[in-house]
């Protein structure tokens, strides 16, 4: 990957720009809209939002006002947990599309797996709705978010269309190796949310020391580390300077020795949200 517009190719032949701009915790209104505008001005062409972020309308406004051809942008949104199931998922997608004021989205994700006794059936029913949206041309690709290997496996048994993506928490100190390996074995792209460890990694002494040797910030180091591990990072910021800085990850390469050191870091910076335990 040599630029923001270089892409991962999905198993259904769709190109996803290799670094996305995350909007989790970007407040709806001018803050979120301005952040997305700054991101597009900085060169991002991949924008990630979700119904539960409650900022789809602001994201949509920023897209409309950006002046960039819609076809040049890759837009992701996600289905929230209270809208799982075939009929509710279709209704929720329609609402997201209206909030975004778009004719289609590039990627639609199930935000979290159903994790109760009947979870596999609920996930399968939801996935059938996603397959309909895909066949109807309303989404270019469909995928998952926060699904572990043992959630994906039963879904693959009933799915007609294989998930293109699994978006999971992935950063130094929290690599979820089992799920990453499973996805790679099944040609599912891994997207990395919270690549900076919800900001907790930015003052980590060892990461600061390594970043200093390359003359980059810890944020840039973490984003580059995600790419070199074959994952697609989704950094988030609402500060113009940091939004721009986070694009500058293609002019250095982390050595194999430093990659191994970072990969070996103990647990740090995790959100605490485990897909099998979350109640929301």
Could you report the per-residue pLDDT of 159-174, keeping only the tens digit for each?
999 999 999 999 999 9
| Residue numbers of the domain that contains 48 | 7-263
The one catalytic residue in 38, 44, 53, 174 is: 53
Is residue 280 assigned to a domain? no
pLDDT for the residue 222: 98
Give the residue, 14 or 200, on which the prediction is more confident.
14
Is residue 270 assigned to a domain? no
Q: Is 28 a residue whose pLDDT tops 90?
A: no
Compute the average pLDDT of residues 78-90.
98
pLDDT for the residue 25: 87
- At 92, give phi and psi (nearest 5°): -65, -40
**Helices 256-263 and 205-214, interaxial angle, to 10°?**
160
Angle, CA of 117, 122 and 123, to the nearest 5°: 105
Q: How far apart are CA 20 and CA 4, in angstroms?
A: 8
pTM confidence score: 0.97
State the pairing for strand pair 7-9/15-17: antiparallel
Is-contact 170 190, C-beta < 8 A?
yes
CA torsion through residues 200, 203, 208, 214, sign: positive
Is residue 82 assigned to a domain? yes
Tokens of 168: 């999971």
CATH code at 203? 3.20.20.100
pLDDT for the residue 242: 96
Is residue 226 assigned to a domain? yes
Compute the average pLDDT of residues 206-235.
98
Q: How many domains does the chain have?
A: 1
Is residue 22 assigned to a domain? yes
Q: Is 24 a residue whose pLDDT tops 90?
A: yes
Q: pLDDT tens, 120-132?
A: 999 999 999 999 9
> Comparing C-alpha atoms, which of 38, 93, 42 is closest to residue 65?
38
Is residue 213 assigned to a domain? yes
Whether 53 sits among the annotated catalytic residues: the reply is yes
Is residue 275 assigned to a domain? no
Is residue 268 assigned to a domain? no
Q: Is 220 a residue whose pLDDT tops 90?
A: yes
Compute the average pLDDT of residues 228-233.
98
* The CA-based dihedral angle spanning residues 96, 191, 234, 54, taken in that order and rounded to the nearest 10 degrees: 20
- At 143, give phi and psi (nearest 5°): -160, -165
pLDDT for the residue 27: 82
């Amino acid at each position: 990957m040599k630029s923001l517009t270089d892409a991962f190719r999905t198993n259904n032949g769709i190109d996803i720009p290799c670094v996305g701009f995350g909007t989790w915790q970007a407040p709806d209104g001018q803050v979120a809209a301005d952040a997305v505008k700054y991101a597009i001005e900085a060169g991002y062409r991949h924008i990630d939002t979700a119904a539960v972020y409650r900022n789809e309308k602001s994201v949509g406004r920023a897209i409309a006002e950006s002046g960039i051809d819609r076809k040049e942008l890759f837009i992701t949104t996600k289905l929230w947990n209270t809208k799982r199931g075939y009929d509710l998922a279709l209704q929720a997608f329609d609402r997201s599309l209206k909030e975004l004021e778009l004719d289609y989205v590039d990627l639609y994700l199930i935000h979290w797996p159903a994790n109760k006794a009947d979870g596999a059936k609920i996930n399968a029913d939801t996935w059938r709705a996603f397959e309909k949206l895909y066949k109807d041309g309303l989404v270019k690709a469909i995928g998952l978010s926060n699904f572990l290997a043992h959630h994906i496996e039963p879904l693959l048994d009933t799915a007609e269309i294989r998930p293109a993506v699994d978006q999971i928490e992935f950063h130094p100190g929290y690599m979820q190796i089992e799920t990453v390996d499973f996805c790679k074995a099944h040609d599912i792209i891994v997207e990395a949310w919270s690549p900076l460890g919800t900001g907790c990694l930015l003052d980590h002494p060892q990461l600061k020391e390594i970043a200093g040797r390359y003359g980059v910030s810890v944020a840039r180091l973490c984003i580059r580390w995600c790419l070199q591990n074959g994952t697609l990072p989704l950094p988030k910021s609402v500060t113009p300077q940091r939004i721009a800085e986070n694009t500058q990850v293609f002019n250095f390469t982390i050595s194999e020795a430093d990659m191994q050191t970072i990969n070996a870091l103990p647990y740090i910076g995790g959100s605490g949200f485990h897909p099998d335990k979350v109640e929301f």
